[in-house]
Every structure is written in C-alpha cells, then in structure tokens.
Amino acid sequence: MAIGHRLYLSAVLGSLRAVRDLRGALAILAGMSFISQVGIAMMLPLIPLYALELGASRAQLGYLTSAFSAANLVSQLGSGFLIDRIGSRPLIRAGIGAYAGANVLIATASNAVSVIAYRGVAGLGGGANLVADRVYLSQTAAPERLAFTNGVLSAAASSGQLIGPAIGGVLGQFYGLSAPFVVVAITSGLAFIGSLFLPVPPRRPAPTVAPGAFLNRAIVVILVANLLLLTTYGGFITTFAAYATTQLGWQTFEVGFVFSFFALGSILLGPWLAGLADRTGRRRMAIIGAALIALFGVSFAAELPRPLLYAVAALSGAGIAVFTASTFALLTAASPEARRGRTFGFVNAFASLGVIVGAIGGTAIWDLLGLRMAILAVSGGAALAGVALLAFPREPVPYRSPIGEVPNGTA
C-alpha cells in the first residue's frame, strides 16, 4: 500500500511539474488543445440528436459519420505533403479556421443534408490540424522530451474532454441543440487566435533523403501498432455501451462515468508515464500502455465491481496517453525530416482505418458469439498492438533515432 501511495504521489507531482514546465510553443499548443477539446466534447454526443431534429434518416446518420471520417482521412494524406512544402504553422491555422467555419454553418443548417456536407468540411479542417499539430511539435520539442511533451498535450486535451460533455448537455437542454455548435465555433476561433502566436520552428538544413526512405521498418511497425489500437477503439465504442446497459444493467450516466475516468487517468498519470518513457525507453512504455488498455476490456468482460472497474479505466486512460506519446516520439525519430509531414499524414490516415475495421468486426463478433466475446476480442487488438511493437528496432536510452540522431529543438 505504501508503495502504491508513493507511486501515486510521484505521478501527481510529475503532472504538476508538467504544468510548471509549460512555456513557449508547448504552452500555446496545450492551451489550444484544451480549449478545442472542450468545444468538441460538448458537440460530439449531440450530433446525431441534432441531425434527427432536422429530419435525418438512419441512413443519413451513417453518412454523417462517414462524411467526417472520409474527409478527415483525405485531409491527413494531403496535408502531410503540403506541410513538407509550406510548413506546419499555416496548416494549423487553416485547419482550425476551416473547423470553426464549418461549425458556424452546422449551427445554421436547415436540413440533414447540409449538416452532412458541413461535417465533411469540418473533417477536412480536423485532419489538417491533427497532422500539422504533431509535425509542429516534432519541430519545436527537444528530442529527449518528445514523449513527455506529447503526454502534456494529451493531458490538456483530456481535461477539455472531461468537462465538455456536461457543458454541452446543459446548453443543449436550455438553449437548443444548435447552441453547442456555436460554442464549438467560438472555442475553435480562440484556438485560431492562439495559433497566430506560435513561434516559428527553428530552421534546420534539409537533409538529403535517399530514395525509398519514406517508409522504413520502424515506420511500418508504428503504423501497424496504431492500426491495431484504433481497431480496438472502433470495436469498443460499438459494443461497450450496449454491453453495459443491456447485459450489466447500467444506467446511461454510468456509461459516461467510465469515459470520465479514462480522461482522469490521462490527466493525472499520462505526463508522468510519458516522461518515464523518455528516460527508460519509449518502446517499452508503449507496450506497457497497450497492456493497460487491453486490461480494461478483460476487466469489463469479467464484470468486476464498479469501483474497481473505474480504477482500471483510469489506468487504461493513462495507457492510452503513454502509448500515444511514446509512438509519437518513436515516429518522429524514425521519420526523415524532409518528409516528416507526409510520413505523419500517411501513418495517421491509414491507422484511422482501424476504427472502421474495429466497428465492423466488433459488430460481426457480437452477432456470432455475443457481446462479451466481442468485448474480449476487440481488447485483443490492444494486446496485439503491444506485440507488434516488439518488432520495432530496440532504441538505446538516452534515445537516438533508428535512422540517425535527431538535432535538438527549442521547447
């Protein structure tokens, strides 16, 4: 018990040091991430209800999700190539601006078809911003702190996700379902203003990239690992709520509690574990993170008592944070700097196909073997993500890139 208390205290102190260390580019990015996620978390649960209010059919609800996902994927691929040519800051601003404008249009939409079209525009902006943010961070963060800085951003985003749904529910209840979309436009606008103050990344000589260096073993391994993890996510969001409410008798608000504990774990433990990854090995910590994610599905299917399940959810949230932060750092070091934009775009875009695979696969297993087996099966995707990382070239600590040492950054 004493060891557990010391570990918890160390984690909290690590998170507090993360806040203390916020400055420069990282401080601006963290603020942008927080305010953006507050708005996004407010709006996301209400999109289907808003579309139904405007007369959407069931098929159109599917198109609503598909339009955003498809546009997001295309944008990630295209923006990666643009970043290599014009830089990451212009794409950050363009992405946030497009997302803000799309949500203004959604709030004023008169029918479901318009909402679908505007969500497509939002997907284009969101995809560009996702890739540009990560490339910018890779250009400004010190190489030895890449996992930590990404963990700080994840914690900032999780803080927004923690409070956003409650605010969105209140706004939707008292001011109508279009109100949260107006607020999303406002928060995205504030994030856009923040992006105007991002410092210029340090100029570095463009390295000569040998033909075929766009993909190497390390990049392929990270792509596969992220694809498997997002397969778990797609299957989980398809089966979790149904299993909790129909098999375990949970109330709807209890389903939301679990997601809050995911976010809480990311906030309290994520930066600490990410810093540990920088010091002790990113591949190792990413594998541990994958195991923590898989642990929740197994615990959930085993129907552990709810308080214990909430604790496991917090650990899994920390696992998501450290897996994301560590694989980001590994991908940064493995990517040729002259082609980092297209590498990030390619990996993010194709890994996101895992959400579709997981959703379809989870539903198929549900039909064939039942919900409990579907939960266990999709949790296996997270475990396999950790197994896939065993094929990543072993990195020495302090970390050096598998394709050459990365020069120091500024943050």
In this structure, which CATH number among 3.40.718.10, 1.10.357.10, 1.20.1250.20, 3.40.50.1100 belongs to the domain 213-411? 1.20.1250.20
Q: Cβ distance 322 to 273 under 8 Å?
A: yes
Q: Which two tokens stand for residue 135?
A: 């490339």
Q: Which long-range contacts (CB under 8 A, 24 or more apart) does 64-68 make?
A: 64/112, 64/115, 64/116, 64/119, 67/116, 67/117, 67/119, 67/120, 67/123, 68/119, 68/120, 68/122, 68/123, 68/126
Q: What is the pTM of this model?
A: 0.80
Instruction: List per-residue pLDDT tens for the chain, 411 residues long.
Output: 444 445 444 544 444 454 445 557 878 888 888 888 888 878 776 777 788 888 888 677 767 777 888 888 899 988 888 888 888 899 999 999 999 999 999 989 989 899 989 999 999 999 899 889 888 988 888 888 888 888 888 888 888 877 877 787 778 778 888 888 888 889 999 999 999 998 888 765 444 444 445 678 899 999 999 999 988 888 887 777 778 878 888 876 677 678 788 888 988 888 889 989 988 899 999 999 999 999 999 998 888 898 899 999 999 999 999 999 999 999 988 888 778 888 888 898 888 888 878 878 887 888 888 888 988 988 899 999 999 999 998 765 555 444 333 333 333
d(CA 245, CA 266): 25
DSSP assignment of 229-240 equals HHHHHHHHHHHH
Q: At what angle do helices 252-280 and 282-301 cross, to 10 degrees?
A: 160
Q: What local confidence, expressed as pLDDT, does residue 92 receive?
A: 93
Distance of CA 317 to the CA centre of its chain: 11
Would you say the CATH fold of 213-411 matches that of 20-148+160-200? yes
Q: Residue-wise over 168-202: b if at least 16 C-beta within 10 A, else e?
A: beebbeeeebbbbbbbbbebbbbbbebbeebeebe
The domain locations on the chain are 20-148+160-200, 213-411
Q: Cβ distance 388 to 225 under 8 Å?
A: yes
DSSP one-letter code for 247: I
Is the domain 20-148+160-200 a CATH 1.20.1250.20 member? Answer: yes
Q: What local confidence, expressed as pLDDT, does residue 192 receive?
A: 92
